[in-house]
């Protein structure tokens, strides 16, 4: 019964449907032919709303060259048709009245002597689009010179990073990241490294779905983040190349290319990016242990070389069957020197001692993912069968040395040897997954059903070895040496049902997932086996008041499973007083989520979000008052709730000034029991962002924007305020075939993570600073002529992707 209040918005919307006794929309049909009046299949038909020619809908023509737009609202429209190797055609304007179908006279496409250039059907999309079930960020409207995917994500509404650069959405780290709608199977360090290696220039859009449908995996208590990569849809060979450099405290450089070859029934694409990044991170901690104060500064100076690649092909076998292949991967090599300096004083400020650590590091990581997919368009009614197979592998290794020095006098020049260690750490994870999906519209009705199944297998192997220097000889440190094996099998099935009743759109679904996992540490003899089955219902409703106003509400139940390395019980040594350990007994988090929106055009006038997590997974710091060592470990907290109210969207002030604003307030509550003590953290916080684009003469664009986050609660951390201001200038060159982008990030160097820990015997203050202020310059140019032969290319859908871009 606890979930009953979540259904009230849906019941209210259903009540509105009862008033829909007469049809309020109509259908628009037509045909497309070549000069010889033969039907043209797979041309792109676009329904344009007049007088501003905004896109109302788009679809591909059938094998018979016909198209049908359903649920068209009253108004004035025209139809535009695009197809590779043909000149575009446009119908005369026509009026649509409620309940009266419209038949557009046949459109005949003339052959083009050369390939089409890039056809722009509508203007550039705004930076921020609010839709009934998601928020969309169009990355092309940002100045992303020299930034990576992780940095771009911080410009999305509701997204923050915690002290370890994990993504926080709706107050939770339980977010599932997809690439082009497909699971990455990444979390923790692996995900962060991949996003850092992925340049922002490779991204087309970012989608945030707080309550995804049952057809998507239930993973992600806070929802789903989908990163859509750029895919050039022009016919022939086309693409872009970029090169750039930047400087903050240290220098950095990068280069990359993105190519596509589209002809006939075949689409090929390839992307390659690389970079050299020299940066730093400074973590300052103050820890009060009884009457002793520890002032500690950890400084990390990495030099990283990264590479990121992707390639693939899509083949239309005929009008009904298509095959796809995709390969992506990344690699990185990092050499770093880490130092730690900890000064101990008494309550009167008198010097007690000092510890110093020198920690050279050398590590590398790699990832690769292979996807095979098949689609069968069974008939023209919309029945479709799809299948996907994925293989993913991640591997990493790191060598470290630890030299500890102890200083007993405040001005002592050289300390005494306090122990030397060295370690070798390696891990490898393999994932195999297969899924099948089927969609079935019911003929003669507006009902549609979807069903599918998925199974996945995960194997993860990790090993760490520590050696301790005894005299002149390295001896195995058996207390820190360990190995870990993790195996997981998930089987899932789902069913969804959707319909449109007048102005009301409804969709409901149920997903079931059976999880079987085993974590085993042969060194320690720890073995944790789990088997559990969970049901995940979801429901969505949208009510279209008129062409400009819409209400929507959605509810869902979701899960976040522990990251593979979070279960690993290894003790990772940071410095003499700081360590990190995995938790093999970590249980999954479960959530209930409600989102309700009121949208005017593309502007989210009001959005209400409620997220309640049980067994919420968070980093917990425990402290040993005798050894003075603080250990961070992921643990399950009792309950975490976040209530958020926000508003935002795009506003066009003038023809030369566009503005995207977002304002939100949230109330976070964390309640749990830790080491026998009841802990409750609660705080109201707010955030605001504003980004402005000024179109200047001579093809210049000025970009000015920034954001502010007030103090809030993240897990057991009381975070302090943070924000930054960004400046950018972009110049189009060579008849818009190239551009030069200048960006100054965090002009006043105000973006850093600051927090306080106050519970049980823990009394700590953290400040994490990185190279947030940078100046970067990037040159981008278009490649390829985009030309192809003028003969008819049946089965091509290349122009479809241009619409609305």
Instruction: Give the model confidence (pLDDT) of 608-640 as tens digits.
Output: 999 999 999 999 999 999 888 999 999 999 999
Angle at 411 between CA 408 and CA 415, to 5 degrees: 50
The dihedral over CA atoms of 745, 748, 749, 750, expressed in degrees to the nearest 10, equals: -110
Confidence of residue 391 (pLDDT cuts 50, 70, 90): very high
Task: Compute the distance between CA of residue 89 and CA of residue 106 in angstroms, rounded to an integer.
Answer: 10
**If you search the block for the tokens 């048709």, which residue do you land on?**
81
pLDDT digits (tens, 9 = 90+) for 235-244: 788 899 999 9
Q: Does position 533 have pLDDT exceeding 80, yes or no?
A: yes
C-alpha Rg value of the chain to the nearest Å: 28
How many helices (H) and strands (E) in the chain?
A: 3, 47
The dihedral over CA atoms of 316, 318, 319, 322, expressed in degrees to the nearest 10, equals: -40
Q: Does position 506 have pLDDT exceeding 90, yes or no?
A: yes
- Say which residue, 233 or 7, is predicted with more confidence: 233
Structure tokens at 703: 């970009």
Task: Compute the distance between CA of residue 397 and CA of residue 769 in angstroms, rounded to an integer.
Answer: 26
**If you search the block for the tokens 């290794």, which residue do you land on?**
397
Write down the mean pLDDT value for the chain: 86
Q: Give residue 705's pLDDT.
A: 93
Confidence of residue 519 (pLDDT cuts 50, 70, 90): very high
User: What is the percent of the chain with per-residue pLDDT over 70, rounded to a whole number?
Assistant: 91
Q: Give residue 9's pLDDT.
A: 39
128-528+540-789 CATH? 2.40.170.20
If we measure between CA atoms, which residue out of 631, 761, 755 comes closest to residue 292? 761
Q: Give residue 24's pLDDT.
A: 60
23-108 CATH? 2.60.40.10
The least confident of 381-385, 472-476, 704-708, 753-757 is 381-385
Task: Compute the distance between CA of residue 127 and CA of residue 146 in angstroms, rounded to an integer.
Answer: 19
Q: Are 171 and 613 in contact (CB under 8 A)?
A: no
Query: Helix (H, G, I), strand (E, B), or coil: what is residue 216?
Result: coil
If we measure between CA atoms, which residue out of 222, 298, 232 comes closest to residue 262? 232
**If you search the block for the tokens 């033969």, which residue do you land on?**
38
Q: Does position 16 have pLDDT exceeding 60, yes or no?
A: no
Q: Does position 800 have pLDDT exceeding 50, yes or no?
A: no
What is the average pLDDT across 510-521? Answer: 96
Q: Are 207 and 547 in contact (CB under 8 A)?
A: no
Task: Compute the distance between CA of residue 450 and CA of residue 386 in angstroms, rounded to an integer.
Answer: 11
Task: Compute the distance between CA of residue 722 and CA of residue 163 in angstroms, rounded to an integer.
Answer: 12
Q: Give residue 382's pLDDT.
A: 79
Q: What is the pTM of this model?
A: 0.81
Q: Give residue 112's pLDDT.
A: 59
Q: Give residue 598's pLDDT.
A: 94
**If you search the block for the tokens 């990016």, which residue do you land on?**
273
Sequence length of the chain is 805
Task: Compute the distance between CA of residue 719 and CA of residue 541 in angstroms, rounded to an integer.
Answer: 35
Q: Give residue 652's pLDDT.
A: 86
Domain ranges in the chain are 23-108, 128-528+540-789
What is the average pLDDT across 231-254? Answer: 89
Confidence of residue 233 (pLDDT cuts 50, 70, 90): low
Structure tokens at 426: 């390696």
Q: Give residue 318's pLDDT.
A: 86
If we measure between CA atoms, which residue out of 654, 652, 646 comes closest to residue 599? 646
E strand or H helix at 150: helix 149-153
Q: Give residue 148's pLDDT.
A: 86
What is the average pLDDT across 145-153? Answer: 84
pLDDT digits (tens, 9 = 90+) for 32-75: 987 767 778 767 888 888 876 667 777 778 767 788 887 788 88
What is the average pLDDT across 246-256? Answer: 95
* Residue 649 buriedness (CB in 10 A; 0-12 / 13-18 / 19+): buried
E strand or H helix at 462: strand 447-470
């Amino acid at each position: 019964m606890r979930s009953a209040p979540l259904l009230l918005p849906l019941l209210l919307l259903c009540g509105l449907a009862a008033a829909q006794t007469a049809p309020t929309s109509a259908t628009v049909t037509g045909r497309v032919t070549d000069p010889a009046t033969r039907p043209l299949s797979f041309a792109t038909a676009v329904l344009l709303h007049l007088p501003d020619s905004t896109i109302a809908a788009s679809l591909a023509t059938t094998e018979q060259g016909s198209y049908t737009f359903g649920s068209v609202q009253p108004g004035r429209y025209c139809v535009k048709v695009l197809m590779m190797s043909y000149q575009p055609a446009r119908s005369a304007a026509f009026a649509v009245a409620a309940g009266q179908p419209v038949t557009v006279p046949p459109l005949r496409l003339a052959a083009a002597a050369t390939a089409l250039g890039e056809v722009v059907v509508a203007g550039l999309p705004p930076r921020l689009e609010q839709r009934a079930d998601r928020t969309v960020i169009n990355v092309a409207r940002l100045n992303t010179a020299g930034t990576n995917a992780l940095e771009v994500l911080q410009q999305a509404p509701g997204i923050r990073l915690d002290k370890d650069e994990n993504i926080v959405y709706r107050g939770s780290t339980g977010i599932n990241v997809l690439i082009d709608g497909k699971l990455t199977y990444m979390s923790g360090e692996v995900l962060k490294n991949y996003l850092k290696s992925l340049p922002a220039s490779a991204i087309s859009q970012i989608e945030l779905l707080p309550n995804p449908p049952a057809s998507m995996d239930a993973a992600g208590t806070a929802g789903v983040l989908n990163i859509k990569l750029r895919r050039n849809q022009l016919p022939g060979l086309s693409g872009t190349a970029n090169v750039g450099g930047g400087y903050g405290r240290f220098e950095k450089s990068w280069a990359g290319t993105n190519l596509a070859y589209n002809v006939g029934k075949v689409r090929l694409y390839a992307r390659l990016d690389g970079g050299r990044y020299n940066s730093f991170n400074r973590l300052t901690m103050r820890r009060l242990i009884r009457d002793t104060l520890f002032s500690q500064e950890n400084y990390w100076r990495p030099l990283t070389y990264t590479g990121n690649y992707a390639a693939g092909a899509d083949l239309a076998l005929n009008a009904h069957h298509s095959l796809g292949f995709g390969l992506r991967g990344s690699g990185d090599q990092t050499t770093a020197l880490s130092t730690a300096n900890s000064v101990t004083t008494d309550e009167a400020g008198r010097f007690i001692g000092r510890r110093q650590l020198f920690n050279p590091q050398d590590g590398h990581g790699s990832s690769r993912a292979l996807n095979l997919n098949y689609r069968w368009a069974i008939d023209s009614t919309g029945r479709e069968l799809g299948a996907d197979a994925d293989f993913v592998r991640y591997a990493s290794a790191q060598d470290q040395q630890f030299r500890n020095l102890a200083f007993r006098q405040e001005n002592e020049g050289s300390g005494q040897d306090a122990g030397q260690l060295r370690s070798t750490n390696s891990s490898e994870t393999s994932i195999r997954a297969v899924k099948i999906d089927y969609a079935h519209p019911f003929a003669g009705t507006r009902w549609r059903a979807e069903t599918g199944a998925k199974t996945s297998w995960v194997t993860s192997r990790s090993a760490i070895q520590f050696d301790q220097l005894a005299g002149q000889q390295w001896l195995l440190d058996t207390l820190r040496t360990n190995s870990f094996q993790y195996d997981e099998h998930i089987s899932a099935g789902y069913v969804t049902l959707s319909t449109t009743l007048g102005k009301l759109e409804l969709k409901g679904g149920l997903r079931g997932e059976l999880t079987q996992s085993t974590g085993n540490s042969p060194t320690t003899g720890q073995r944790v086996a789990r088997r559990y089955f969970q049901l995940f219902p979801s429901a969505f409703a949208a009510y279209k008041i008129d062409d400009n106003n819409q209400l929507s509400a959605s509810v869902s139940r979701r899960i976040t499973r522990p990251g593979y390395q979070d279960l690993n019980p290894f003790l990772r040594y940071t410095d003499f007083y700081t360590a990190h350990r995995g938790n093999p007994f970590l249980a999954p988090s479960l959530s209930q989520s409600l989102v309700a929106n009121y949208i005017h055009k593309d502007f989210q006038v009001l959005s209400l979000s409620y997220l309640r997590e049980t067994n919420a997974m968070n980093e917990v710091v425990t402290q040993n008052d005798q050894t003075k060592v603080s250990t961070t470990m992921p643990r399950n907290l009792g309950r975490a709730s976040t209530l958020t109210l926000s508003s935002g969207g795009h506003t066009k002030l003038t023809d030369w000034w566009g503005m995207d604003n977002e304002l939100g307030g949230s109330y976070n509550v964390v309640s749990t029991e830790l080491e026998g003590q009841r802990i409750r953290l609660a705080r109201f916080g707010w955030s605001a962002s504003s980004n402005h684009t000024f179109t200047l003469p001579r093809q210049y664009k000025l970009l000015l924007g920034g954001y502010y986050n007030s103090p809030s609660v993240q897990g057991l951390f009381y975070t302090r305020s943070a924000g930054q201001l960004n400046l950018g200038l972009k110049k189009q060159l060579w008849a818009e075939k190239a551009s030069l982008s200048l960006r100054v990030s965090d002009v006043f160097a105000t973006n850093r993570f600051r927090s306080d820990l106050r519970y049980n015997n823990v009394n700590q203050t953290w400040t994490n600073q990185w190279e947030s202020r940078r100046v970067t310059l990037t040159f981008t140019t278009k490649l390829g002529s985009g030309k192809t032969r003028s003969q008819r290319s049946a089965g091509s859908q290349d122009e479809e992707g241009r619409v609305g871009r």
